[in-house]
Chain A
Amino acid sequence: EVQLVESGGGLVQPGGSLRLSCEASGFSFSSTWMHWVRQVPGKGLVWVALIKSDGTTIYADSVRGRFTISRDNAKNTLHLQMNSLRAEDTAVYHCARDWFHAIDYWGQGTLVTVSS
């Protein structure tokens, strides 16, 4: 069974940093592209970043230069390092699995709140 479990969310001040993690199980993590997608509660889905199996990374314009997606294949874990956080980064962050250019499995998400 595919499982994705995020952690690391919380309250952080504007300009601060946070590191999200996503533990994956039930599939071959190292050979799978992985995404981060965020959602303001009650609002729509917004794609954040992708990391391919070869380590290539792609970012949304809104986070490029501030966020870094990475993976630890030995620990089946996906990360999102978020720096220079802004109020508009407040959202639930989901990690999600890419499957032939669709996103087939999503974690429950972890809430990030950027506020003073």
Chain B
Amino acid sequence: DVVMTQTPLSSPVTLGQPASISCRSSQSLVHSDGNTYLSWLQQRPGQPPRLLIYKISNRFSGVPDRFSGSGAGTDFTLKISRVEAEDVGVYYCMQATQFPRTFGQGTKVEIK
């Protein structure tokens, strides 16, 4: 199985300041079709997860442009350019290149 490792596991951030989450996979996530199926999800308290980013860097419909994704191969990053109060929650990376689908442990973003 592909192991997804996120750092940090907790990220206290000041409102208006940037935040960054790293996700590393134990194997390359480049699929045989040439795509890299790495996505980022946000889970607000009491809510199901919500898709933010797919295929490394593509923002899903309705996602604010303060969220951005980058990376390649085995190393990926989610950045929030200016954290807002509504961004509080747990963020997960997920790989869909291989079965079983696997998730990172989650990074809790909270306001200082």
Using a CB–CB cutoff of 8 Å, the interface residues on chain A facing chain B are 35, 44-47, 50, 58, 60-61, 94, 99-109
Contact = CB atoms under 8 A, between A and B. Distances in A.
B28 to A, nearest CB: 15
Given A44-B106, A102-B37, A109 B48 contact: yes
B90 to A, nearest CB: 8
Say what secondary structure dominates the interface of chain B: loop
B54 interface: yes
Interface stretch (B19-27, B70-78, B79-87, B97-105): B97-105
A3 to B, nearest CB: 12
Contact of B105 (A44, A101, A105, A109): A44
Contacts of B92: 44-45
Contacts of A35: 101
Nearest to A107: B48
Given A44-B103, A44-B105, A102 B48 contact: no
For chain B, give the interface size range. Answer: 20 to 34
A104 B99 contact: no
Interface string B35-49: 101010100000011
4 tightest CB-CB pairs across the interface, nearest first? A106-B48, A102-B54, A101-B96, A47-B101
Contacts of B106: 44-45
Contacts of B50: 106
